[in-house]
Structure 1
Amino acid sequence: MTTTTQSKYQILPRGEATAILPTGSKHSPITVIGTEPIRSSFDELCLQQAINSRTAPGVTNLVLNPDAHGGYGAPVGCVLVSPTHVYPGPVGVDIKCSMSLLQTSLPADAVIDKQTRRALIDAICERTPTGAGKGQRNAPKSRHVEEALGKRVLTEGASPGVCRELGIPVEWASRCEDSFHVGHDDSTGALALRLEKLLPHIYQFDAKISQLGSYGGGNHFGECEAVEVGDDQRSRDIAKTFGLIDGGIAFLSHCGSRGIGHSLATGQFKSLQAKFEQWDIPLPGKDRELVYAPLGTPEANAYLDDMALGANFATVNHLLINALVLEAFQEVLPGTTGELVYFISHNIARKEIVDNRPAWVHRKGATRAYPAGHFALKGTPFAETGHPILLPGNPQAGSAVMVAEAGAEASCYSVNHGAGRQLGRKAAKRELDQRQVDQSFADADILSNCRQYPIDEAPAAYKDFDEVLRSVKSAGLASEVARLKARFVIKDGDKADD
């Protein structure tokens, strides 16, 4: 095996899809997951941010996943562990950006007809707006949320009462990685107090609450999927536990905490950056996005409370989107039923046990991966299989539902959150051809709500999904249970006039 070199950085292979990145200091090296082609895709910014993050105060572990690329402070596609500090950067500005999957009762041939798919796109867009700043007023059949209920969403998450008021099946909460989040002292009271303090400073709070049940822009999406479960008996057994139906239609969603999460996160960055300047504290790697707070300080408590508020919004946002999507399917194809397969985050810090002690595991563009028998899954539907892992690839290559293996311990029980970008947005717009992108979707018979598919979201802007999956499998982190093949896509863009 050859050493992968990116200028002054050397990634040292340890296996077909595992390696280490030395930090050049007394700190232990960074764990790298990826085959040689994937490791070669990591640029200098990504690797420098990884080293800055690993050598930051209180950090004990750092993992680079196959989808890693440069982000804010810490790379997107990394896992940062600290038993003593919290870091906003390795969570990001879209608090609890997540994936969810709804399995419907429909067979795949129910959406072969283009007219049917177009009707489904219209029905979904009438209920779930897309794009920055868009809220319920942009979708005539959305759920209207008053301020009082919005406050409950932020402080309670997917509580039975919140779910009932929004028309979300209460049982869906049991299919969430976390259906609610509490404050720094493990109470909802701390969140209520924090929210009241924040309210005068949150610009257009009502408008942000009105975004509940909506997709954002960028890489957020909704996709109608044909489910293809693996041929082996283990995949079929696990798919049954997950609630996946081979040859059925499912709906995959990617979004987060919208404007409210962005407001909370940027407020925290500004507040902590001001503290660092006031106290003249050196920044890790001289990077303003790598500010931090020691646990137990007022600054850490404030961050954990704000993160929980944003995370609760993101949770209910996903569940409401799924309820609205199911409603749209029922309007076009009466009699359709649906059940939530799973809801899982990839931009969150969670308190977990790492190396036999409590620590905050920050997953920035990374997904939790607990295998069968993990103590944290006791009492859940997935105790004997491991929980579903939802990995988006791109509409043409498909997405994957995976399950963790025991080897995931090596990556702090985490895997990548998707394919990861190989072209920045400006580079994609400069290098890719719009007509070719649109023609590729027509050739694949994948419809969209956009007149032109967003070129910076084209499949070619992302890494080779099969190579990314090969990295995860070869490293012994997870196995593929099913592949999801897109039939239509909802993205931020002008509504198509097909």
Structure 2
Amino acid sequence: MDTINPNLRISGPATATIDVGDAHSPITVIGNDAIRQTFDDQTIQQAINSRLAPGVTDVVLNPDAHVGYGAPVGCVMLSPTHVYPGPVGVDIKCSMSLLQTDIPADEIVSQTVRRKLIQAIGKRVPSGAGRGQRHVPKSRPVDGRLGFQLTTEGASKNVLKKLGIPKAWADRCEDWHHTAPDGSSDTLAARLEFLGRNRDSLDRLESKYRQLGSYGGGNHFGEAEVVRFAKDQASREVAQSFGLRDGHVAFLSHCGSRGLGHDLAMGQFRSLKTSFQKQGLAFPAGDPQLVYADARSDEGRLYLCDMAMGANFATVNHLMINQLVLEAFREVFPSVRGELVYFISHNIVRQEQVGQQLQWVHRKGATRAFPARHPGLQRTPFAETGHPILLPGNPRDGSSVMVALPGAERSAFSVNHGAGRRMSRTKAKKMLDQHQIDTELMNHDILSNCRQYPRDEAPDAYKDFNQVLASVEQAGLATEVARLEAKFVIKDGAPADD
């Protein structure tokens, strides 16, 4: 890392800073020496560009950081005045959720049982870019009226009732709904009516509503896990308070706002770029992917409205997937019971109190990490413990449930959102061997719905997850309370490119 950026200053075993000039606070870097070596020149340059962008006061680089859209994936960017679509990205509110069941681990030892579960889920939850309800026989139909309602209301009681989702699950969401900047859902409704003002645009919106309850392609997945509690008693107690069950089956999901969020985000990028060009404004570092708006301006308010609608769709999409997965488990285990542990996002901008200032906190591939007694957790089930942090690793090495420590304040109460890529998709497809990938998963007794596991999603395409977790713990940001061991994986069913 020292050879990548000469301005790096080591400040702890897993913390460092990058100086960007006397007039600006340095970039905070979270990562031990092994992780710092994974940050390439372009990732560092994107972090510097983000820190020097107008209105930005702080940037945090997490251990999973790699090249992203304008700003690195795996970064946190703070501004009291401006909003940046790039550090949210096109998959608005891409998120993690975890469903805990009462099925003991030994009940899914049989590969035959696991294949039945994979098939049952596949009949209810489609996966892959552009796929929606019409591709599977047992999904939930969503018409234009219900799609409009959930996009503007989020996981309201009426929406959950219509979809057959337990109302209590809304309390297990980081945010069960998002409103316009004026605090109103009616403003979102007016905006959505405007976006669907003609037949073609309305038809396109309704086609995106029908993707509710589906995984996308790429790094989206569903994964059956066995929960293994940490060994120390304090961590075990926290895990139990979250609703986790040691030695039992859980289901972890990673997806976002699907085609609806993508369309809303791309529309905003086009609109803001046009506004910049008309005004003759320069893009930060000459990069149009770092286009921005004053949060109080008309452009800023419109972006926040569109982001809120994408976020609402993502929230209900996750809850719908979890309900469908639970129904699939009941096809194989009729008496199974399951509860949502938590739903948490990692592609969003939220207004939060950071220190003495109210800031727009952009988390791009970064996860909120509020510790016990944080004001933002008042009147939630997690006020006295901190909320669950869901960190996906890879099927081979597992995933993690963590809880924040008071030290998370130094990273704007944020941690990484997973392992982070160490290879581009193109490089992974060229460098990694398909037979070796599939054999390794088989040797670890991990099944998949894919004929061949996607090469660009193989465990070796990602950073060393244990080093990533070690960085978080060594920096004093969070501690692990449970590890999740994969037993089968649901991915985009298309075979990897040859």
What range describes the TM-score normalised by the shorter chain of this pair?
A: over 0.9
Which 4+ runs in 1 deviate beyond 3 A?
200-203
1:306 aligns with 2:306: yes
1:96 aligns with 2:96: no
TM (norm. structure 2) is 0.98
Equivalent in the alignment of 1:475: 475
Aligned-pair CA distance for 1:5: 2.3
Mapped contact 1:265–1:306 kept (Cα < 8 A): yes
Q: How does 1:363-402 map to 2 (within 5 A)?
A: 363-402=363-402
Distance 2:258 2:6 in 1: 36
From the superposition, tell whether residues 76 and 495 of structure 1 become closer, same or farther in structure 2 (CA, over 3 Å).
Answer: closer
Equivalent in the alignment of 2:160: 163
Equivalent in the alignment of 2:352: 352
Distance 1:190 1:363 in 2: 24
Alignment partner of 1:66 out of 60, 63, 66: 63
1:148 aligns with 2:168: no
Distance 1:53 1:292 in 2: 11
Equivalent in the alignment of 1:130: 127
Distance 1:375 1:243 in 2: 22
SS at match of 1:184: coil
Equivalent in the alignment of 1:278: 278
Equivalent in the alignment of 2:2: 4
Mapped contact 2:452–2:495 kept (Cα < 8 A): no
Distance 1:203 1:492 in 2: 25
Mapped contact 1:85–1:295 kept (Cα < 8 A): yes
Distance 2:177 2:17 in 1: 35
Structure 1, residues 150-170: CA drift from partner, whole Å, max 9, x if none?
000100000000001001000
Equivalent in the alignment of 1:428: 428
Structure 1, residues 301-338: CA drift from partner, whole Å, max 9, x if none?
10000000000000000000000000000011110010
Number of residue pairs matched?
493
Instruction: List runs of 5+ in structure 2 lacking aligned partners.
Output: none
Aligned-pair CA distance for 1:10: 3.5
Equivalent in the alignment of 2:187: 190
Distance 1:234 1:490 in 2: 33
**Once structures 1 and 2 are overlaid, which stretch shifts more, 339-348 or 233-242?**
233-242
Structure 1, residues 241-295: CA drift from partner, whole Å, max 9, x if none?
1000000000000000000000000000010011111111111111010000012
SS at match of 2:139: coil
Instruction: List runs of 5+ in structure 1 lacking aligned partners.
Output: none
SS at match of 1:390: strand
Mapped contact 1:4–1:36 kept (Cα < 8 A): no
Equivalent in the alignment of 2:84: 87
1:484 aligns with 2:484: yes
Aligned-pair CA distance for 1:25: 5.3
Distance 2:132 2:22 in 1: 48
Distance 2:106 2:495 in 1: 25
Equivalent in the alignment of 2:250: 250
From the superposition, tell whether residues 233 and 495 of structure 1 become closer, same or farther in structure 2 (CA, over 3 Å).
Answer: same
Equivalent in the alignment of 1:32: 29
Compute the RMSD of aligned alpha carbons: 1.1
1:173 aligns with 2:159: no
Letter in structure 2 aligned against 1:83: P
Distance 2:22 2:284 in 1: 13
Mapped contact 2:223–2:251 kept (Cα < 8 A): yes
Structure 1, residues 118-157: CA drift from partner, whole Å, max 9, x if none?
0000000110000000000001000000110000010000
Mapped contact 1:65–1:77 kept (Cα < 8 A): yes
Distance 1:60 1:104 in 2: 43
Alignment partner of 1:21 out of 18, 22, 32: 18
Equivalent in the alignment of 2:266: 266
Mapped contact 1:176–1:342 kept (Cα < 8 A): yes
Mapped contact 1:423–1:462 kept (Cα < 8 A): yes
Aligned-pair CA distance for 1:60: 0.8
Structure 1, residues 19-63: CA drift from partner, whole Å, max 9, x if none?
001114521110000001111110111111101101111111100
Mapped contact 1:241–1:381 kept (Cα < 8 A): no
Distance 1:361 1:377 in 2: 17
Structure 1, residues 164-192: CA drift from partner, whole Å, max 9, x if none?
10010000000000000000211101100
Distance 1:444 1:344 in 2: 28
Letter in structure 1 aligned against 2:206: D
Letter in structure 1 aligned against 2:93: K
1:419 aligns with 2:416: no
SS at match of 1:389: strand
SS at match of 1:340: strand
Aligned-pair CA distance for 1:203: 6.3
Equivalent in the alignment of 1:457: 457
Letter in structure 1 aligned against 2:2: T
Equivalent in the alignment of 1:297: 297
Aligned-pair CA distance for 1:357: 1.9
**Once structures 1 and 2 are overlaid, which stretch shifts more, 170-179 or 24-33?**
24-33
Equivalent in the alignment of 2:319: 319
